[in-house]
A and B are shown apart, each in its own frame.
Chain A
Amino acid sequence: MSKDVAIIGVGQSAFVRGYQGSIRELAFEAFREAMQDAGISKSDIDASIICSAPEYDSQRSPSGIIAEYLGLNPQPTFAVETVCSSSTTGLRAGYAMVKSGLHDIIVVLGFQKMSEISSADSQERMGRGGDIMWESPFGSMMPAYYAMHACAHFDKYGSTEKDLAMIRVKAAKYGTINEKAVYRKEVSLEDALNAPYVSSPLKRFDCCANADGASCIIIANKDRAKDICPKPVWFMGLGSATASMTLTNRDTLYGIACARKAAQEAYAMAGVTPQDIDVAEVHDCFTIAELLAYEALGFAEPGKGVELIREGQTYIGGKIPVNVDGGLLSKGHPIGATGGSQVRTIVLQLRDEAGGMQVPGAEIGLIHNIGGVGVYGNVIILGR
């Protein structure tokens, strides 16, 4: 692996239901932790990249106010948005800027205060998450889109509602030990299976919770990383792809094409295979999304992902531990902060600092972060 760009600091606020503060204060919580982790001062930082889905923000152009509050003037700053994958897209932009030599050290800050807008506003915006010309006029929404992928997967491969419930049980088990998660209770298989439908076949426990939160990742070039950081975590591979937002323009619904392509790119760049991954964080905004990720990432053949959860292979001690920090299902999903939180978890794993969630001896980790319902896909492979 070429050790050119490293992660030298990670931070995350607690993910909570209704954050009692402003977006700049929320962002600062993650920034402070990442800066203390990296052991650097603001004069070491060359640029900031601010990631959020602006539909939730009252503040126009939030990167301006956030860079100011972090103390990062006069360094350049800009915003990146790919909805739920905004902060891994920001990381990709940051990687390129460091790798090119344009900057030495960059802060990638993701945040979302989803409680900033009223629940009426949120209900109104919910309908505009898909193609507003051709799908929204029917009353479409995010859970329905993922539910349609689940329906197609069930029909094609024989996966079941029970398989999805088992994914939630796993997420809930690890959520109990993640002190930054919004949902920290166990969920039994019966509870998951008996919950009301949100959009069939997805039920209440198949869906992650909205949350407010922030994440911060600090990256540096080789020389600075080796100079500053006792345990740098290196970028091995990055993959990124897109697929149509309009469902009618997708070949099939039983897989996420952009994730598969992003994974292939990331594996090729890193020179590793799915079998080499020791621990993974995948985008489980819904349980079906985790099942689809097993197959997109090559942890299982298409249609065989259910075997991983049925055999317990994605728990710690299994073949490929997945989302052993509780995932989005337990942590919550503050849109712009989510990818950075996934990256933080993998960095802690590779530094052997993940506490009760630690996968013993993890050397290579993977992050799978999806924006929209399979519209934007980012896969990042990190190594120590």
Chain B
Amino acid sequence: MGFEKFGRKSFASQTKVESFVEYLAKGELSGTQCKSCGKQYFPPRADCAECLGNEMDWFKIEGTGNLVSFTKAGFAPTGFEADVPYTLALADFNGIKVFGRLDSSIPKEEVSVGMALQINILNLPDGQLSYEFVKS
């Protein structure tokens, strides 16, 4: 499965970490961990910048995270217009930071930095795979 399956709209089709999409299809958000030095990466990487290794294991990001920051976009780049307004967010899962969107059904007054979040994998109607943060 190609990497172009990732996201509302894809800008890159080829990467050595395209298995990311297969994990999404299985309902898992995953990063990579260097087999040599143990360094964990999210977003996943094929190459370790710490030890130059290129053998990686996949690990699953799970449990409860916290909202680090967010913004509600009032306009959008080409291809995302139909989604406006949507909320972009950065969340921290035990030291692993993840960028994505926040569930748009959460009432505005309930959204605040530090709130507890979980990851929800999305199968979009057009066959694309993505993920969002939902209230924990």
Contact = CB atoms under 8 A, between A and B. Distances in A.
Interface of A: 120, 123-124, 126-128, 131-141, 143-144, 147-152, 155, 196-202, 246-250, 253
A287 B100 CA distance: 24
Nearest to B3: A133
A222 B78 CA distance: 50
Contact of B88 (A128, A134, A139): A139
Given A200-B72, A248-B42, A253-B68, A138 B90 contact: no
Residue from the set A138, A141, A200 with the largest chain B CB neighbour count within 10 Å:
A138
Given A137-B130, A253-B68, A123 B78 contact: yes
Nearest to B11: A132
B68 A152 contact: yes
Given A139-B77, A248-B99, A249-B97, 17 more contacts: A126-B77, A126-B78, A134-B43, A137-B8, A137-B9, A139-B8, A139-B101, A143-B73, A144-B71, A147-B71, A148-B69, A148-B88, A155-B114, A200-B74, A248-B90, A248-B98, A253-B69
The 8 A-B pairs of least Cβ separation, nearest first, read A137-B7, A127-B77, A139-B80, A147-B71, A132-B11, A248-B97, A155-B113, A134-B43
A377 B88 CA distance: 24
A195 to B, nearest CB: 11
Nearest to A196: B74
Contacts of A132: 11-12
13 contacts: A134-B99, A135-B99, A138-B7, A139-B9, A139-B79, A139-B86, A139-B101, A144-B88, A148-B69, A148-B71, A151-B70, A199-B88, A247-B97
Interface residues of B, number: 37
B69 A140 contact: no
B101 A138 contact: yes
Given A246-B99, A247-B97, A152 B69 contact: yes
A247 to B, nearest CB: 5
A177 B49 CA distance: 50
Nearest to A197: B74
B101 to A, nearest CB: 5
Given A128-B11, A132-B12, A148-B69, A141 B77 contact: yes
Given A127-B78, A133-B43, A139 B15 contact: no
B126 to A, nearest CB: 13
Nearest to A203: B74
B76 interface: yes
B43 A248 contact: yes
Nearest to A200: B72
Contact of B76 (A141, A152, A196, A253): A141
Contact of B6 (A137, A143, A246): A137
Contact of B72 (A127, A128, A150, A199): A199
A140 B86 CA distance: 10
B57 interface: no
Contacts of A201: 71
Contacts of A248: 42-43, 90, 97-99
B49 to A, nearest CB: 10
A149 B113 CA distance: 12
A149 B71 CA distance: 9
B83 interface: yes
Given A134-B99, A248-B90, A124 B42 contact: no
Contacts of B86: 139
A128 B10 CA distance: 11
A200 B6 CA distance: 26
Nearest to B113: A155
Residue from the set B71, B75, B79 with the largest chain A CB neighbour count within 10 Å:
B71
Nearest to B108: A200
B69 A198 contact: no
Contact of A247 (B3, B74, B80, B90): B90
Nearest to B86: A139
Interface in B28-73: 42-43, 68-73
A262 B41 CA distance: 27
Contacts of B12: 132-133
Nearest to B131: A138
Contacts of A127: 9, 11, 76-80
Contacts of B10: 137
Contacts of A137: 6-11, 130
